[in-house]
Amino acid sequence: MEGIETHRSIFCKSEHSPLLNVLVVKPSFMEITEVINETQKHFQDQNITTPLALEQHENFVRVLKEQNVEVEELPAEPGLPEQVFTRDIAFTLNEEIYIASMSESVRHRETGPLKKWLQDHDISYQDGLPSSIEGGDVIVNGSTVYVGVSGRTSQEAIDALQARIPSYTVVPLPLHESILHLDCVFNIVDENTAIVYPPAFTPEGLGRIATTFNLIRVTREEQFQMGPNVLSIGNKTIISLPQNKRINQELEAKGFNVIPVEFSEIIKSGGSFRCCTLPLRRK
């Protein structure tokens, strides 16, 4: 069997070191069946053109492979319209995968296929975090783990996570109620640089981020266009949406190589490149 075979192959301690292996799901059954975020509310009447979503996702996967990323595909299942967003259903910390506790009923069944895939590949995982916590709210920076306090992730779950990983410092970041996940408004792209949408945070939370990173600040329009939700694949290379031109130019001015990939159909459901990738292994 190709790909990952033991849990020892799992490793992730940052958002920006070279991406070696990632898990994705094709948007074969993607549609807005139940509005569960502000972006979907905007695109509810248009909904998702599935063939276009599949074409864009296939191109995204092709780009990943061209960049020497090994791509694993979890089978898409009917009745799971949000399954393309694999980042939400788990998160990788060091050598362990933690299964998320999904908040929305339309997404509860998504963790089942992931657990089966992990078991089939003899990959260990942790489960059973209380209340709700989703991978889109979890951002790893070495021994620090930032976790968004959102409608999808509770303080109770964050406290339970800290108890499980005492060697890490878990930093809760309360988010404005309109924000879906932390990675929609905050993303670390190298050791010193982060993309952020300031109005999403409390003054204390934003201050904590600003004292740690040089910030690329995005506007409301750029945030709606999923500007922060880029995917770093390592070596200062970033996959980003072509329509976020100013952000891309600022990244390039800071020495990043930006690969523009069209993802306009996918983002209608409220997620972009980071949301659609569950890293299994980074260098």
Distances (CA, A) of 33 to 6, 86, 126, 194: 36, 18, 30, 33
Q: What is the DSSP string of 84-134?
A: T-GGGGEEEEBTEEEE-B-SSGGGGGGHHHHHHHHHHTT--EE---SS-B-
Q: Nearest-CA neighbor of 179 among 130, 129, 134?
A: 134
Catalytic residue among 12, 57, 181, 276: 181
What kind and span of H or E run contains 173? Answer: strand 169-174
Q: Distance between the two ends of the chain, CA-based, in angstroms?
A: 22
Q: Nearest-CA neighbor of 267 among 236, 232, 228, 234?
A: 228
Contact 74, 117 (CB under 8 A): yes
The span from the CA of 208 to the CA of 176, in Å, is: 16
Catalytic residue among 12, 184, 275, 276: 275
Query: Active-site residue 181, yes or no?
Result: yes
The span from the CA of 76 to the CA of 90, in Å, is: 16
Contact 150, 137 (CB under 8 A): yes
Contact 240, 262 (CB under 8 A): no
Length of the chain measured in residues: 283
- Active-site residues, by number, are 181, 275
